[in-house]
Amino acid sequence: MAELVDLRSDTVTRPTAAMREAMAQAEVGDDVYGEDPSINALESELAAMFGHAAAVFVPSGTMGNLVGLRLLCEPGDELLCDADAHIVTYEAGAAAVYGGIQTRTMVMARGLLTADVVEPQIRAAGYHAVATRGLSVEQTHNRGGGAVYPLAVLKELRALADAHSLRIHCDGARIWNAHIASGVDLDEYGALFDTLSVSLSKGLGAPVGSVILMKEPDREAAARELRHRLGGAMRQAGVLAAAGRYALTHHLTRLADDHRRARQLAEGIAAAAPDVVDVHAVETNMVVLDLTNAPVDTAGLDEACRGQGVLISALGLRRVRLVTHLDIDDEGVERAIGAITTTLRGE
Ligand SMILES: *Cc1c(COP(=O)(O)O)cnc(C)c1O
């Protein structure tokens, strides 16, 4: 049987031969002593890229988000975010359990906050009130189908945050996709956030790693202490940094290919089943299918596709997510369109 077409996530990629070679050649040292040259290079390159004062390598985006949120909020503080945010949906309650952070969530179209919805949720100060301290945005938005925050909306949120002394965290696991899709420079995004977590192991295709960035230099020591407390301080992690640095050089601009293939996937499905997918909603590397009026539900489509070597992921009982990435080529897109459309036509 032909190789699987795995559209479940952009995390399923495996390092290429050239990336493995870069990992094998990496200079390493003990990063707990601050002596891993590859980690140090990656951290300073990323800080410069986003115009931030410091960057700290962490094993996962989940840890990056927790460290970032704890730099903004103390236990007992409140964080405003959208109800579909990764930090409240997919991180096993980390902000609550390890951060003591109370989240207040808002249901937003495609997961994107707007200043007019956020403003009335900011609490007035008072000894018996919870202190609203932070705001978190997700760029691109995962459960929002890879939606990109328009720069103007982010600027309004920044102005609102400044007016109320709130700080902003960006869960930028896929900020790379936003940058490629919108053409907005990474440092322009960086300027809007106090802390920013970026992933090397999503679309960029590195096997492991995220980086937490911070605008204020005096937060770095706290970030390193938090990482250590969480068990995220590693030793010769330069082999991982080398994969990340390779990815930043070789896999960033190619994200445009993933975006093109996601559109082709959506168009191919829409040609057979127009009410299942909104082609115009495809902004980056994700396609969301709405099976409300389809002859199968998510489980049915999953099973039928699996039988044809195509893997998809569930967002709900009748909502499906398809993600393009480094290991999906044009032939894979065609095979996926074939498997999905034959199932939707009831063939
Ligand atoms: C994957 C993801 C994370 C978490 O990254 P892990 O490395 O899997 O912990 C955080 N935020 C978003 C939006 C993600 O898609």
In angstroms, what is the span from residue 62 Cα to ligand 1's centroid?
6
- Residue 56 falls inside a structural domain: yes
Bridge-based pairing of strands 78-82 and 102-106 is parallel
Residues 194, 58 share a domain: yes
Residues 279, 234 share a domain: no
Residues 273, 228 share a domain: no
Of 219, 250, 281, the residue at which a domain comes to its end is 250
Q: Where are the alpha helices (DSSP H) in 90-237?
A: 94-97, 115-118, 151-163, 175-182, 186-190, 220-229
Residues 21, 167 share a domain: yes
Which atom of ligand 1 is found nearest the CA of 59?
7
- Residue 2 falls inside a structural domain: no
Q: What token pair was written down for 338?
A: 């074939």
Residues 271, 156 share a domain: no
- Residue 7 falls inside a structural domain: no
Residues 259, 159 share a domain: no
| Residues lining ligand 1, Cβ inside 6 A | 60-62, 65, 86, 138, 142, 171, 173, 199, 201-202, 210
Bridge-based pairing of strands 286-290 and 319-323 is antiparallel
- Residue 40 falls inside a structural domain: yes
In angstroms, what is the span from residue 176 Cα to ligand 1's centroid?
13
Residues 139, 69 share a domain: yes
Among residues 214, 210, 217, the alpha carbon closest in space to that of 248 is found at 210
Q: State pTM to two decimals.
A: 0.97
Coil vs helix vs strand at 260: helix
Coil vs helix vs strand at 139: coil
What is the CATH classification number for the domain harbouring 172?
Answer: 3.40.640.10
- Residue 89 falls inside a structural domain: yes
Residues 230, 147 share a domain: yes
Residues 245, 158 share a domain: yes
Q: CA-CA distance, 72 to 138, in Å (whole number)?
A: 16
Closest C-alpha residue for ligand 1 atom 4? 61
Residues 37, 77 share a domain: yes
Coil vs helix vs strand at 323: strand
- Residue 4 falls inside a structural domain: no
In angstroms, what is the span from residue 324 Cα to ligand 1's centroid?
16
- Tally of CA atoms within 13 A in the half-sphere of 330 that contains its CB: 2
Residues 86, 215 share a domain: yes
Closest C-alpha residue for ligand 1 atom 8? 61
Closest C-alpha residue for ligand 1 atom 10? 61
What is the CATH classification number for the domain harbouring 320?
Answer: 3.90.1150.10
Residues 159, 116 share a domain: yes
Q: CA-CA distance, 258 to 177, in Å (whole number)?
A: 9
Number of domains in the chain: 2
> What is the residue-level pLDDT of the chain in tens, covering all 347 positions?
568 999 999 999 999 999 999 999 999 999 999 999 999 999 999 999 999 999 999 999 999 999 999 999 999 999 999 999 999 999 999 999 999 999 999 999 999 999 999 999 999 988 889 999 999 999 999 999 999 999 999 999 999 999 999 999 999 999 999 999 999 999 999 999 999 999 999 999 999 999 999 999 999 999 999 999 999 999 999 999 999 999 999 999 999 999 999 999 999 999 999 999 999 999 999 999 999 999 999 999 999 999 999 999 999 999 999 999 999 999 999 999 999 999 998 87
181 is in which domain, residue-wise?
17-250
